[in-house]
Structure 1
Protein backbone atom coordinates (compact mmCIF):
# COMPACT_ATOMS: atom_id res chain seq x y z
CA UNK A 1 0.00 0.00 0.00
CA UNK A 2 1.30 3.46 -0.93
CA UNK A 3 2.16 5.79 1.95
CA UNK A 4 0.63 8.99 0.57
CA UNK A 5 1.38 11.00 3.68
CA UNK A 6 5.13 10.44 3.18
CA UNK A 7 4.93 11.04 -0.56
CA UNK A 8 3.10 14.36 -0.11
CA UNK A 9 5.41 15.40 2.73
CA UNK A 10 8.57 14.52 0.81
CA UNK A 11 7.62 15.66 -2.70
CA UNK A 12 4.93 18.26 -2.04
CA UNK A 13 7.35 21.23 -1.90
CA UNK A 14 8.84 20.29 -5.29
CA UNK A 15 5.39 19.95 -6.84
CA UNK A 16 4.33 23.30 -5.38
CA UNK A 17 7.47 25.03 -6.69
CA UNK A 18 6.91 23.54 -10.14
CA UNK A 19 3.28 24.57 -10.53
CA UNK A 20 3.64 27.96 -8.86
CA UNK A 21 6.63 28.93 -11.01
CA UNK A 22 4.67 28.19 -14.15
CA UNK A 23 1.43 29.81 -13.02
CA UNK A 24 2.48 32.65 -10.75
CA UNK A 25 -0.94 32.47 -9.11
CA UNK A 26 -1.39 30.80 -5.71
CA UNK A 27 -5.03 29.82 -6.26
CA UNK A 28 -4.36 28.18 -9.62
CA UNK A 29 -1.22 26.56 -8.22
CA UNK A 30 -3.21 25.04 -5.33
CA UNK A 31 -5.67 23.52 -7.79
CA UNK A 32 -2.86 22.09 -9.94
CA UNK A 33 -1.08 20.81 -6.83
CA UNK A 34 -4.17 18.84 -5.80
CA UNK A 35 -4.83 17.64 -9.35
CA UNK A 36 -1.22 16.46 -9.58
CA UNK A 37 -1.55 14.20 -6.55
CA UNK A 38 -4.95 12.92 -7.67
CA UNK A 39 -3.52 12.01 -11.07
CA UNK A 40 -0.52 10.36 -9.37
CA UNK A 41 -2.87 8.24 -7.24
CA UNK A 42 -4.65 7.01 -10.34
CA UNK A 43 -1.38 6.30 -12.16
CA UNK A 44 0.09 4.42 -9.20
CA UNK A 45 -2.89 2.06 -9.19
CA UNK A 46 -2.07 0.81 -12.67
CA UNK A 47 1.73 0.45 -12.39
CA UNK A 48 4.46 0.73 -9.77
CA UNK A 49 6.22 4.09 -9.60
CA UNK A 50 10.01 4.05 -9.80
CA UNK A 51 10.67 7.77 -9.32
CA UNK A 52 7.95 9.68 -7.48
CA UNK A 53 9.60 13.07 -7.78
CA UNK A 54 10.06 12.82 -11.55
CA UNK A 55 6.52 11.59 -12.06
CA UNK A 56 5.00 14.27 -9.82
CA UNK A 57 7.00 17.09 -11.43
CA UNK A 58 5.99 15.88 -14.88
CA UNK A 59 2.32 15.67 -13.95
CA UNK A 60 2.52 19.06 -12.21
CA UNK A 61 4.11 20.68 -15.26
CA UNK A 62 1.41 19.28 -17.52
CA UNK A 63 -1.39 20.34 -15.18
CA UNK A 64 0.08 23.85 -14.93
CA UNK A 65 0.36 24.17 -18.72
CA UNK A 66 -3.27 23.08 -19.01
CA UNK A 67 -4.23 25.73 -16.44
CA UNK A 68 -2.24 28.34 -18.38
CA UNK A 69 -4.15 27.45 -21.51
CA UNK A 70 -7.46 27.81 -19.72
CA UNK A 71 -6.38 31.15 -18.26
CA UNK A 72 -5.27 32.45 -21.67
CA UNK A 73 -8.59 31.43 -23.23
CA UNK A 74 -10.51 33.14 -20.43
CA UNK A 75 -8.34 36.26 -20.59
CA UNK A 76 -8.70 36.56 -24.34
CA UNK A 77 -12.49 36.49 -23.97
CA UNK A 78 -12.40 39.17 -21.27
CA UNK A 79 -9.58 41.49 -22.32
CA UNK A 80 -9.24 41.52 -26.05
CA UNK A 81 -7.37 44.54 -27.32
CA UNK A 82 -5.29 45.48 -24.23
CA UNK A 83 -2.27 47.58 -25.23
CA UNK A 84 0.86 46.39 -23.34
CA UNK A 85 2.57 49.74 -23.91
CA UNK A 86 -0.28 51.45 -22.05
CA UNK A 87 0.22 49.16 -19.05
CA UNK A 88 3.88 50.16 -18.79
CA UNK A 89 3.39 53.90 -19.28
CA UNK A 90 0.37 54.18 -16.99
CA UNK A 91 2.35 53.30 -13.82
CA UNK A 92 4.74 55.33 -11.72
CA UNK A 93 8.31 55.65 -13.10
CA UNK A 94 9.93 53.57 -10.34
CA UNK A 95 7.67 50.63 -11.09
CA UNK A 96 8.54 50.43 -14.78
CA UNK A 97 11.16 47.69 -14.72
CA UNK A 98 9.09 45.52 -12.42
CA UNK A 99 6.06 45.99 -14.63
CA UNK A 100 8.07 45.13 -17.74
CA UNK A 101 9.32 41.98 -15.99
CA UNK A 102 5.77 41.00 -15.03
CA UNK A 103 4.65 41.68 -18.58
CA UNK A 104 7.42 39.39 -19.86
CA UNK A 105 6.42 36.62 -17.47
CA UNK A 106 2.74 36.90 -18.44
CA UNK A 107 3.61 37.02 -22.15
CA UNK A 108 5.82 33.92 -21.85
CA UNK A 109 3.04 32.09 -20.02
CA UNK A 110 0.57 33.08 -22.74
CA UNK A 111 2.85 31.76 -25.51
CA UNK A 112 3.52 28.53 -23.57
CA UNK A 113 -0.21 28.00 -23.36
CA UNK A 114 -0.47 28.12 -27.17
CA UNK A 115 2.47 25.94 -28.25
CA UNK A 116 2.48 22.11 -28.44
CA UNK A 117 2.63 20.30 -25.09
CA UNK A 118 6.08 18.78 -25.49
CA UNK A 119 7.63 22.09 -26.54
CA UNK A 120 6.03 23.91 -23.62
CA UNK A 121 7.03 21.20 -21.19
CA UNK A 122 10.65 21.07 -22.40
CA UNK A 123 10.90 24.87 -22.26
CA UNK A 124 9.39 25.01 -18.76
CA UNK A 125 11.67 22.29 -17.45
CA UNK A 126 14.71 24.12 -18.86
CA UNK A 127 13.88 27.67 -17.87
CA UNK A 128 11.68 27.26 -14.80
CA UNK A 129 13.18 24.11 -13.32
CA UNK A 130 16.78 24.69 -14.54
CA UNK A 131 17.11 21.14 -15.83
CA UNK A 132 19.64 20.21 -18.52
CA UNK A 133 18.89 18.30 -21.73
CA UNK A 134 19.69 14.79 -20.42
CA UNK A 135 17.44 15.34 -17.38
CA UNK A 136 14.63 16.68 -19.54
CA UNK A 137 15.08 13.82 -22.02
CA UNK A 138 14.80 11.31 -19.19
CA UNK A 139 11.67 13.03 -17.92
CA UNK A 140 10.02 13.19 -21.34
CA UNK A 141 11.17 9.76 -22.50
CA UNK A 142 13.13 11.08 -25.45
CA UNK A 143 16.71 11.95 -26.42
CA UNK A 144 18.73 15.03 -25.43
CA UNK A 145 18.95 15.93 -29.11
CA UNK A 146 15.15 15.91 -29.41
CA UNK A 147 14.95 18.07 -26.29
CA UNK A 148 17.20 20.61 -28.03
CA UNK A 149 14.81 20.65 -30.97
CA UNK A 150 11.77 21.06 -28.73
CA UNK A 151 13.35 23.95 -26.83
CA UNK A 152 14.57 25.56 -30.05
CA UNK A 153 11.04 25.46 -31.49
CA UNK A 154 9.59 26.88 -28.28
CA UNK A 155 12.13 29.72 -28.34
CA UNK A 156 11.33 30.39 -32.00
CA UNK A 157 7.63 30.70 -31.13
CA UNK A 158 8.49 33.02 -28.25
CA UNK A 159 10.56 35.19 -30.58
CA UNK A 160 7.67 35.27 -33.01
CA UNK A 161 4.75 35.70 -30.59
CA UNK A 162 6.07 37.84 -27.74
CA UNK A 163 5.11 41.51 -27.93
CA UNK A 164 7.97 43.73 -29.10
CA UNK A 165 7.90 45.54 -25.77
CA UNK A 166 9.12 42.42 -23.95
CA UNK A 167 11.00 40.60 -26.69
CA UNK A 168 14.22 42.61 -26.46
CA UNK A 169 17.02 41.64 -24.07
CA UNK A 170 15.48 38.73 -22.26
CA UNK A 171 16.94 35.36 -21.31
CA UNK A 172 14.23 33.31 -22.96
CA UNK A 173 14.61 34.38 -26.58
CA UNK A 174 18.28 35.28 -26.78
CA UNK A 175 19.18 31.79 -27.96
CA UNK A 176 19.05 28.36 -26.51
CA UNK A 177 21.46 27.96 -23.59
CA UNK A 178 23.45 24.79 -22.91
Structure 2
Protein backbone atom coordinates (compact mmCIF):
# COMPACT_ATOMS: atom_id res chain seq x y z
CA UNK A 1 0.00 0.00 0.00
CA UNK A 2 1.36 3.39 -0.92
CA UNK A 3 2.56 5.65 1.83
CA UNK A 4 -0.13 7.97 3.18
CA UNK A 5 -0.06 11.35 1.51
CA UNK A 6 1.08 14.42 3.38
CA UNK A 7 -0.11 17.95 2.71
CA UNK A 8 3.22 19.71 2.28
CA UNK A 9 2.34 23.11 0.85
CA UNK A 10 3.96 25.77 3.07
CA UNK A 11 1.69 27.74 5.34
CA UNK A 12 1.11 31.32 4.18
CA UNK A 13 3.20 33.71 6.23
CA UNK A 14 0.22 35.71 7.51
CA UNK A 15 -1.50 32.52 8.59
CA UNK A 16 1.69 31.26 10.24
CA UNK A 17 2.02 34.47 12.23
CA UNK A 18 -1.58 34.22 13.43
CA UNK A 19 -1.07 30.59 14.43
CA UNK A 20 2.06 31.38 16.41
CA UNK A 21 0.38 34.31 18.15
CA UNK A 22 -2.71 32.24 18.94
CA UNK A 23 -0.53 29.47 20.32
CA UNK A 24 1.04 32.05 22.65
CA UNK A 25 -2.41 33.02 23.89
CA UNK A 26 -3.14 36.03 21.69
CA UNK A 27 -6.94 36.21 21.71
CA UNK A 28 -7.22 38.57 18.73
CA UNK A 29 -5.10 36.25 16.59
CA UNK A 30 -7.22 33.26 17.60
CA UNK A 31 -10.41 35.14 16.72
CA UNK A 32 -8.96 36.16 13.35
CA UNK A 33 -8.19 32.52 12.56
CA UNK A 34 -11.72 31.46 13.50
CA UNK A 35 -13.25 34.17 11.31
CA UNK A 36 -11.13 32.94 8.40
CA UNK A 37 -11.96 29.27 8.96
CA UNK A 38 -15.66 29.52 9.85
CA UNK A 39 -16.90 29.30 6.21
CA UNK A 40 -15.00 26.01 5.74
CA UNK A 41 -16.38 24.62 9.00
CA UNK A 42 -19.92 25.74 8.14
CA UNK A 43 -19.89 24.21 4.65
CA UNK A 44 -18.53 20.90 5.90
CA UNK A 45 -20.91 20.54 8.85
CA UNK A 46 -23.93 21.78 6.92
CA UNK A 47 -23.36 19.30 4.11
CA UNK A 48 -22.68 16.32 6.37
CA UNK A 49 -25.23 16.76 9.15
CA UNK A 50 -28.82 15.45 8.94
CA UNK A 51 -32.03 17.51 8.90
CA UNK A 52 -32.95 18.72 12.35
CA UNK A 53 -29.37 18.85 13.57
CA UNK A 54 -28.31 22.17 15.11
CA UNK A 55 -25.63 23.18 12.63
CA UNK A 56 -24.83 26.42 14.45
CA UNK A 57 -24.14 24.47 17.62
CA UNK A 58 -22.01 21.98 15.72
CA UNK A 59 -19.97 24.78 14.15
CA UNK A 60 -19.38 26.34 17.56
CA UNK A 61 -18.32 22.97 18.98
CA UNK A 62 -15.86 22.47 16.13
CA UNK A 63 -14.46 25.95 16.71
CA UNK A 64 -13.89 25.13 20.38
CA UNK A 65 -12.07 21.95 19.35
CA UNK A 66 -9.95 23.95 16.90
CA UNK A 67 -8.97 26.42 19.61
CA UNK A 68 -8.12 23.64 22.05
CA UNK A 69 -6.10 21.79 19.44
CA UNK A 70 -4.13 24.77 18.14
CA UNK A 71 -1.35 24.25 20.66
CA UNK A 72 -0.66 20.83 19.15
CA UNK A 73 -0.76 22.08 15.54
CA UNK A 74 2.80 21.80 14.22
CA UNK A 75 2.42 24.06 11.19
CA UNK A 76 3.60 21.50 8.63
CA UNK A 77 0.90 22.71 6.25
CA UNK A 78 -2.09 25.08 6.10
CA UNK A 79 -4.87 24.87 8.64
CA UNK A 80 -7.61 23.94 6.18
CA UNK A 81 -7.06 20.14 6.00
CA UNK A 82 -6.49 19.95 9.77
CA UNK A 83 -9.67 21.92 10.51
CA UNK A 84 -11.66 19.95 7.91
CA UNK A 85 -10.59 16.76 9.67
CA UNK A 86 -11.94 18.08 12.98
CA UNK A 87 -15.22 19.08 11.31
CA UNK A 88 -15.60 15.70 9.58
CA UNK A 89 -14.85 13.76 12.77
CA UNK A 90 -17.30 15.87 14.78
CA UNK A 91 -19.99 15.33 12.13
CA UNK A 92 -19.31 11.59 12.22
CA UNK A 93 -19.75 11.61 15.99
CA UNK A 94 -23.10 13.36 15.68
CA UNK A 95 -24.23 10.98 12.94
CA UNK A 96 -23.28 7.97 15.03
CA UNK A 97 -25.12 9.47 17.98
CA UNK A 98 -28.31 9.86 16.00
CA UNK A 99 -27.71 6.92 13.65
CA UNK A 100 -28.81 9.02 10.71
CA UNK A 101 -26.98 9.32 7.40
CA UNK A 102 -28.50 12.06 5.30
CA UNK A 103 -27.68 15.41 3.77
CA UNK A 104 -29.38 18.80 3.73
CA UNK A 105 -29.12 21.63 1.21
CA UNK A 106 -25.93 23.60 1.63
CA UNK A 107 -26.35 27.20 2.71
CA UNK A 108 -23.81 29.52 4.23
CA UNK A 109 -24.65 32.69 6.19
CA UNK A 110 -21.39 34.20 4.97
CA UNK A 111 -22.09 33.83 1.24
CA UNK A 112 -23.21 37.46 0.93
CA UNK A 113 -20.36 38.86 3.00
CA UNK A 114 -16.78 39.66 2.12
CA UNK A 115 -14.58 37.08 3.82
CA UNK A 116 -11.73 38.96 5.54
CA UNK A 117 -9.87 35.77 6.42
CA UNK A 118 -7.56 33.29 4.81
CA UNK A 119 -10.19 31.27 2.95
CA UNK A 120 -11.84 33.75 0.54
CA UNK A 121 -15.28 33.00 -0.88
CA UNK A 122 -16.21 33.72 -4.51
CA UNK A 123 -17.63 37.16 -5.19
CA UNK A 124 -21.45 37.30 -5.29
CA UNK A 125 -22.92 36.89 -8.76
CA UNK A 126 -24.61 40.14 -9.88
CA UNK A 127 -27.24 38.20 -11.86
CA UNK A 128 -30.03 37.18 -9.39
CA UNK A 129 -31.59 34.73 -11.86
CA UNK A 130 -28.28 32.96 -12.37
CA UNK A 131 -27.73 32.84 -8.60
CA UNK A 132 -31.18 31.26 -8.15
CA UNK A 133 -30.50 28.63 -10.80
CA UNK A 134 -27.12 27.86 -9.23
CA UNK A 135 -28.65 27.44 -5.76
CA UNK A 136 -31.37 25.16 -7.15
CA UNK A 137 -28.69 23.09 -8.84
CA UNK A 138 -26.70 22.80 -5.62
CA UNK A 139 -29.81 21.69 -3.74
CA UNK A 140 -30.45 18.95 -6.31
CA UNK A 141 -26.86 17.72 -6.13
CA UNK A 142 -26.85 17.67 -2.33
CA UNK A 143 -30.12 15.72 -2.25
CA UNK A 144 -28.57 13.17 -4.61
CA UNK A 145 -25.65 12.69 -2.22
CA UNK A 146 -27.98 10.72 0.07
CA UNK A 147 -27.46 7.82 -2.33
CA UNK A 148 -23.70 7.64 -1.62
CA UNK A 149 -21.88 5.61 1.05
CA UNK A 150 -20.57 7.78 3.89
CA UNK A 151 -16.88 7.85 2.85
CA UNK A 152 -17.73 8.72 -0.74
CA UNK A 153 -19.97 11.52 0.54
CA UNK A 154 -17.18 12.87 2.75
CA UNK A 155 -14.72 12.90 -0.15
CA UNK A 156 -17.29 14.54 -2.44
CA UNK A 157 -18.15 17.22 0.14
CA UNK A 158 -14.51 18.01 0.91
CA UNK A 159 -13.70 18.26 -2.80
CA UNK A 160 -16.66 20.24 -4.12
CA UNK A 161 -17.99 22.08 -1.05
CA UNK A 162 -14.90 22.60 1.14
CA UNK A 163 -12.80 23.06 -2.04
CA UNK A 164 -9.84 20.98 -0.87
CA UNK A 165 -7.55 19.29 -3.38
CA UNK A 166 -6.85 15.55 -3.24
CA UNK A 167 -3.75 15.63 -0.97
CA UNK A 168 -5.60 17.94 1.45
CA UNK A 169 -8.62 15.60 1.46
CA UNK A 170 -6.31 12.66 2.18
CA UNK A 171 -4.86 14.59 5.14
CA UNK A 172 -8.31 15.66 6.37
CA UNK A 173 -9.48 12.04 6.36
CA UNK A 174 -6.64 10.92 8.59
CA UNK A 175 -3.72 10.62 6.20
CA UNK A 176 -5.22 8.06 3.83
CA UNK A 177 -3.58 7.37 0.49
CA UNK A 178 -4.34 9.89 -2.28
CA UNK A 179 -5.14 6.95 -4.55
CA UNK A 180 -7.86 5.92 -2.12
CA UNK A 181 -9.32 9.43 -2.27
CA UNK A 182 -9.29 9.30 -6.08
CA UNK A 183 -11.06 5.94 -6.01
CA UNK A 184 -13.81 7.20 -3.67
CA UNK A 185 -14.27 10.35 -5.75
CA UNK A 186 -14.41 8.36 -9.00
CA UNK A 187 -16.96 5.93 -7.54
CA UNK A 188 -19.05 8.80 -6.16
CA UNK A 189 -19.16 10.50 -9.55
CA UNK A 190 -20.05 7.23 -11.27
CA UNK A 191 -22.81 6.52 -8.74
CA UNK A 192 -24.26 9.99 -9.15
CA UNK A 193 -24.16 10.06 -12.95
CA UNK A 194 -27.40 8.11 -13.62
CA UNK A 195 -29.28 10.12 -10.97
CA UNK A 196 -27.98 13.38 -12.43
CA UNK A 197 -29.13 12.30 -15.89
CA UNK A 198 -32.54 11.46 -14.43
CA UNK A 199 -32.77 14.79 -12.57
CA UNK A 200 -31.67 16.78 -15.63
CA UNK A 201 -33.18 14.88 -18.61
Superposed pair shares fold, TM > 0.5: yes
C-alpha change, 1:22 and 1:107, in structure 2 (3 Å) is farther
Residue 199 of structure 2 is aligned with which of 159, 165, 170? 165
Q: RCO higher in 1 or 2 (8 Å CA, sep ≥ 6)?
A: 2
C-alpha change, 1:7 and 1:138, in structure 2 (3 Å) is same
TM-score (norm. length: structure 1): 0.56
Check conservation: 2:81, 2:169, Cα contact below 8 A: no
- Measured after TM superposition, the shift of residue 71 of structure 1 is 4.3
Partner of 1:147: 181
Check conservation: 2:41, 2:87, Cα contact below 8 A: yes
- Provide the rounded CA distance (Å) in 1 between the counterparts of 2:44 and 2:181: 21
Question: What are structure 1's unaligned runs of at least 5 residues?
Answer: 73-93, 169-178
Question: What are structure 2's unaligned runs of at least 5 residues?
Answer: 1-21, 48-52, 106-126
1:33 aligns with 2:39: no
Residue 58 of structure 1 is aligned with which of 51, 64, 85? 85
Structure showing the higher helix proportion among its residues? 1
Aligned Cα root-mean-square deviation (Å): 4.1
TM-score (norm. length: structure 2): 0.51
Partner of 1:107: 140
Q: Paired residues, what number?
A: 142
- Provide the rounded CA distance (Å) in 1 between the counterparts of 2:131 and 2:186: 27
Match of 1:129, SS state, is coil
Residues 23-54 of structure 1: per-residue CA shift (max 9 Å, x gap): 48xx9653332021234467x39x93335543
